[in-house]
Amino acid sequence: MTAFCQGGVNFEHLTFDEALAKAKAENKLVFMDCYTSWCGPCKYMAETIFPQEKAGEFFNPKFISVKFDMEKGEGPELAKKFGVRAYPTFFIIRPDGTVQHTIVGGGDLEGFIARVERGLNEKTSLDYLNKAYEKGKMNKKQLMNYSIALQDAYDEAKSKKINTELNAVLKDKDKLKKDFWPILENDGYGSENFKFVVKNLPAFRKNIGKEKVDAYLFGNYSMAIDNSNRGPEPAKTLEQIRQDLSTINLEKNDELMSKIELAQAIADQDVAKIISFAEQAAQSGSKEVWPVMNALNSIKNKASKEELGHIAELGDKFIANAPAQGKDYMENFFESFKIAAYTGVYFQDLTFEQALEKAKKLRKKIFIDCYTSWCGPCKYMANTVFKQENVGDFLNKNFICLKYDMEKGEGPELMKKFGVRAFPTFVILNPDGTVRHKLVGGGEGEQFIERVKESFDDNKALSTLTTKYENGDRDKAFLLQYTKTLNSLYDATAKDVAAELMNIATDEEKLSPDYSFIFLSSSLSPKDSEAEKFLLANREKFNTTIGKEKVDGRLSEGLYSELMRSIASKGENIDAKRLDAIGKEIKTLKLSNEKSLLALQTIAKAVKAGNIDRLLSTCEKELSKIDNNQYVVYYLSGAFEKATSAQKTRWQKIMQGQSK
C-alpha cells in the first residue's frame, strides 16, 4: 500500500468504505483529513506536521489514516455527509462509520496530538459528551471537557453556552485548582476568567506553574495587541495592557511593549514609524515578522510612491530570512508594494500559464491587453492612458496585469482562445482562467476605469450575461443590456439577440432612446431585417427622437458600403442591374445626402464599364459632389493602373483639384 507521507503519518489511498473495512479488520479507528487544495492551514499540516516521525509514531499504530479533497472525487459527498464547514477538519471515525470526535483547524504537533488524544478517550470524546449532555447528567469536570471538545470542533455557539453553564456553578476556589485550568486557559483577554487569573496571579503560578501561566498571559496579551486595531477603541485597549504589564513581571515584557508601540503606530497611521519598525526587523533578521507585515499592509493606501518603493526594497531582506515554506507568500506580499509604488499600469512579464497559476494562488483577477504593433489606439493606450497614475493604481490594485502582442509568441493562440476580433481588446479573467468580461477599444483614463468597473457588476459583465442568456433569461431589459455588450465587442451574435428583442419589444419601447443604438447600427438592423423595416416604417418618428441626420446616415450606410466595395473591386463583385437598383433605392429613400450618394453610384457604374476616359469624365463631373471623398479617391486609384500617361496626368489633375 502506497502512502502520502513516508516516515510520518501513513495516509493510505483508500475509498471511505475501504478505510472502514480495513479499520474493522485491524481493530483500529479511522483518522480522516478533510482538506482543500487552496487552504493554507491544510497545506501546513500536510507539509510540516504530518510528515514528522513523531506524528507517524503516534498515528500509525492507532488509525487507518485517509485524506480527501473536499472539492474532488468522494470529497463533496463526504463533506455533505459529515457537515464539513471549515478546513482543515479532522474526524475520528469508528469502523461502523459513526463519528467519535471532530477537530477543526491545525496547529503544532504537540498541541494537535493532545486534541486527538481527547478524541481517543471515549469519556472526553465529543460523541460521548454530546450524549451525556442530552441525558442532563454532567458534573463540573464533564462540563469542562464538553466545552473543550466543542471548541476542538469549532462549535462556538454551543461551547459558549456550555461555558456559561459551567461558570455559573464554578466557585472561585474551583477556578484556582489545576483540574479546571483548561477551561480558564481557553478564555482570552478581556474575559472574566482572564481578569480573575491576573487578579490571582501568585496563586495560579503556584498551582498551575509559572511557565504555563505566563505563557497563557503572554499569548493572550500578544493577541489582544495584534487585534487592538480591529476594535472600536484601540488606544483604550493598549493603555489598559500597558497598565497591566506594569504590575505583572513577565520575562517578555519588553517584547509586548514593543508590540504595543507598533500597534499604536498602526492606530495613528504613522507611516514613518511603521517603516522604521520594518527596517529594524529586516536588519535584525527577526522571525517575528507577521505583526510588522500586518502594519505595513495597513499603510499601503497612505504611503507615498517613494515610501512604497522603500518597503519593496526592504522585502529582499525579509524574503532572504524567511523559512522555505514562507518565501512564496513573502515574495507576493512585497511584490504588491513594488507594484503599488509603480506609476502607471504594472504589466507583469509572465507566460499565460504562469499568470493563471499566480491568479489562483492570489485569488486575483487577470487583466490582459491584447494589442498589435501597428494598431494606433493600442499605442495611445500604452503610451498615454496606461502611464497615468490613477489608471495604474486602479488596475494594479484589482488585477494581475498582462499584455500580449496578438501576432507574436503566445499572442495568436490567445487571440483565438478569447475570440479577439479588433484591437485593442482587453480581456478580464476570473482567477480560475474563465472569461469574466471583455472590452474593445480604448478611452481616456477615468472613462476607461468606468468601463473596466463593468466587470465587477453582474448586470454588465459578459460572463454573467451569457450565463443568464444560456439559462433562458429573456427579460427585455436583460436582452437590451446583453445586445449592447455583445455589440461593443463586435460579436456577430449581437444581431441574433437584437432580433429576439425586436420580437417582444413594444413599438413604444423601440422608439425610445434606449433602443436607438439598434436602429443606428447596420449590423444590428441589417437589410430586410424586422428592425430595418420598423425603422423605415417609422422614419419620421425616428427623425424626431434620434435626429434626421443620424437616421439618414444609418439608411445610407449600407448603400455607401456596397458602392465603395464595388469601386475597390473595380466592379467585379457587383452587376450592372444591382448598381441601377441602388440608384433607385437612393432616390426612393429621399436621403439628405442623396446628391453625394448618386454621384458615388454614377462613378461606380463608370468603374464597372471599364472605360478609363469615361471614368475620368465622370470623376471630373461627380467627384466634387461626394462628401469626404478621400477614401473614394484612394480606391479609384486602382482603376487607373493600366491608364496611359496622358490619362494618368489627367487623373492627377482631378486629384489635385479635390485637395484644394
Distances (CA, A) of 604 to 587, 592, 655: 16, 20, 17
The set of catalytic residues is 39, 42
Q: Are the C-beta atoms of 375 and 421 separated by less than 8 Å? A: no
Q: Are the C-beta atoms of 27 and 39 separated by less than 8 Å? A: no
Residue 3's pLDDT band, with cuts at 50, 70 and 90, is: very low
Q: Is 428 helix (H, G, I), strand (E, B) or coil?
A: strand
- pLDDT at 6 > cutoff 70: no
Q: Mean per-residue pLDDT for 105-116?
A: 94
Q: What is the dihedral of CA 368, 372, 377, 380, to 10 degrees?
A: 80
Distances (CA, A) of 583 to 447, 538, 599, 611: 42, 22, 10, 20
Each residue of 248-281: pLDDT tens digit? 989 999 999 999 999 999 999 999 999 999 999 8
Predicted pLDDT of residue 327: 86
From first CA to last CA, the distance across the chain in angstroms is 90
Distance CA 451, CA 442 (A): 10
- pLDDT at 132 > cutoff 50: yes
* Of 174, 108, 106, the residue nearest 143 (C-alpha): 174
Tell me which of 660 and 361 has the higher pLDDT: 361
Each residue of 439-459: pLDDT tens digit? 999 999 999 999 999 999 999
Distances (CA, A) of 296 to 40, 314, 539, 595: 21, 11, 63, 69
CATH code of 342-456, in short, is: 3.40.30.10
Each residue of 395-405: pLDDT tens digit? 999 999 999 99
Each residue of 181-239: pLDDT tens digit? 988 888 899 999 999 999 999 999 999 999 999 999 999 999 999 999 888 888 999 99
Count CA atoms closer than 13 A to 212's CA, side-chain side: 13
Q: Are the C-beta atoms of 488 and 422 separated by less than 8 Å? A: no
Query: Which residues of the chain are in CATH 3.40.30.10 domains?
Result: 342-456
Locate 431 and state its grid cell. Answer: 482567477
Number of neighbours of residue 34 by Cβ within 10 angstroms: 24
Distance CA 190, CA 227 (A): 12
Count CA atoms closer than 13 A to 623's CA, side-chain side: 25
Strands of 435-440's sheet in order across: 399-405, 365-371, 425-429, 435-440
Predicted pLDDT of residue 111: 92
Locate 457 and state its grid cell. Answer: 457588476
Residue 325's pLDDT band, with cuts at 50, 70 and 90, is: confident
List the beta bridge partners of residue 400. 366
